[in-house]
Amino acid sequence: MIKVVILIGGPMKGTRFRPLSLELPKPLFPIGGFPVVYHHIEACKKIPDLKEIILIGFYQSSESLSRFIQNAQQEFNIPIRYLQEFQPLGTAGGIYHFRDQIAMGDPEAFLVLNADIIGDYPLIDFSSLRMISSNLNFHQQANKKQAHNFGCLVQDPETHKVLHYVEKPETFVSEIINCGIYIFSPAALFKLMGEIIQKNYQKMSEEPFPGNVESVRMGEDVLATLASAGSLYAFKSSSFWSSIKNAGSAIYANRNVLAMYHKTHPDLLAQSGKGQPHIRGDVYIHPSAVVHPSAVLGPNVSVGSNVVIGAGARVRETILLDGAELKDHCCILYSIIGWNCSIGMWSRVEGSRCDPNPNEEFSRPDGESLFGEDGKLTPSITILGRNVTIPGEVIVLNSIVLPHKDLGQSYKNEIIL
Ligand code: GDD
Ligand code: GTP
């Protein structure tokens, strides 16, 4: 029997996803029309002998989270529970804190997934992976310049045993990066974590301002120790995978999830037709959205519930969140339009693409920080927070607009507070 743990973090996380994460836990942000963790759950459902899915985080249980869990349980017919940390316990502390819940029923192994990743998960192979009695870390290839943003590992090419693991190394270690997907054998992992916490106790008893002894970091504490003990193995995944750190990478993720729908859910991709809007490339439209037949959507657009799109509007490489209204002839490119925003007639909302560099192999979406070294705002997608109103005939370019703003003019390269 297998269990799944998804690490969903909490309200102090997701800072690079503001202002969108101010409104909604980042794991519930829709990619390809469905919350990020919905994609995790859907992929896990394919694991044979899956017993339950446990979400661990430090969000206060909210209506949106409870509703999501309830709907997903019904849809996928699998028990899903949310366990809340009393305070942030780090990327592995929650797993130890709730070890009794995870170990209940005596699973042979449990899978851990970071919530802020998305991919064409290689989970179908899990039935065979169960045979492995040790711990497994999924990895991908990155390029040399970007690898330091991730956990990096060095493996034995023959046995795939991890020889060395460094979390976000300052100097170059390896181009093999940790995907934030692991399979652990419970007994061995909990024993190791117990030892780490014991060491924390000893260290902190000597500190004047001791931190939280129960806080355990997955990379620095757990994976590095497992690697040095020779009990961590690497599993290479070469299908699509991306972390979703900032809103720019959400547009990239959205494009790739829509592309995956050709294989997994062709029924979710909109088609042009008589009386239908003109569709270019991959587009998801929620059934409750109302789109004028003369509008042109795509490629790579997701349209949320109750969105209204007027005549002649043009939308491309964009996520429109629930309840947004696009008035006639507006043009939206490379943007995320927040819940219940209103875009006036003939207005243009445009951002810059944050795609991986196509000229570099294994490149990943960039834009780790909002500001460049010169202190200027890095050109990125345009983001409108909830309930922003853009009047007619203005241009909003490469800007971030905080929720509930009523803009009266055009803006370029600004954060509008
Ligand atoms: N429950 C809980 N409690 N979850 C947490 C906490 C916590 O205190 N802190 C972080 N998380 C969750 C986040 O929500 C996210 O899903 C995951 O743990 C990873 O947390 P980050 O701290 O954001 O790590 P990262 O994304 O920068 O790096 C991790 O992921 C990379 C791949 O995307 C590492 O595992 C890297 O090694 C890896 O390459
Ligand atoms: P790239 O070569 O990939 O950059 O695309 P492009 O040359 O088609 O131009 P761009 O990215 O600027 O525009 C994307 C789409 O939006 C194109 O189909 C344009 O025709 C359309 N578009 C651009 N500006 C406007 C506008 O102001 N109004 C409307 N309705 N459509 C526009």
Identify the nearest ligand to the CA of 333 by its number.
2
Q: Indicate the range of 32-46, 71-85, 230-244 predicted with least confidence.
A: 230-244
Q: Write out the two tokens for 275.
A: 């009386």
Rg of the Cα atoms in the chain:
22
Confidence of residue 370 (pLDDT cuts 50, 70, 90): confident
State the distance from the centre of ligand 1 to the C-alpha of 50, rounded, in angstroms: 23
DSSP E strand boundaries for 223-273: 232-236, 241-243
Identify the nearest ligand to the CA of 55 by its number.
1
Q: Which helix (H) or strand (E) holds 44?
A: helix 36-44
Q: What is the DSSP string of 312-332?
A: T-EEEEEEE-TT-EE-TT-EE
Highest mean pLDDT among 8-12, 157-161, 174-178, 303-307: 303-307
24 by DSSP, 3-state: which? coil
Residue 148 corresponds to which amino acid?
Answer: H
Q: State mean pLDDT over 80-105.
A: 94
Q: Write out the two tokens for 378.
A: 């890095």
Q: Which helix (H) or strand (E) holds 109?
A: strand 109-114
Is the four-CA dihedral 118, 290, 264, 365 of positive or negative sign?
Answer: negative
Instruction: Give the atom of ligand 1 at the shortest distance from the alpha carbon of 94.
Output: 1
Best substitution site from 251, 301, 316 to test ligand 2's pocket, by max atoms within 8 Å of Cβ?
316
Identify the nearest ligand to the CA of 365 by its number.
1
State the distance from the centre of ligand 1 to the C-alpha of 37, rounded, in angstroms: 14
Does residue 218 surpass a pLDDT of 80?
yes
Checking phi first, is residue 313 left (phi over 0); if not, alpha (psi -120 to 50) or beta? beta
Q: What is the pLDDT of residue 148?
A: 84
Q: Write out the two tokens for 344.
A: 């006036």
Confidence of residue 203 (pLDDT cuts 50, 70, 90): confident
Residue nearest to atom 7 of ligand 1 (CA): 90
20 by DSSP, 3-state: which? helix
State the distance from the centre of ligand 1 to the C-alpha of 268, rounded, in angstroms: 30
Quote the ipTM score. Answer: 0.76
State the distance from the centre of ligand 2 to the C-alpha of 245, rounded, in angstroms: 27
Can you name the residues that pair with 113 across neighbouring β-strands?
6, 181
297 lines ligand 2 (CB under 6 A): no
From residue 234, how far is each of 134, 144, 190 by CA, in Å? 11, 19, 20
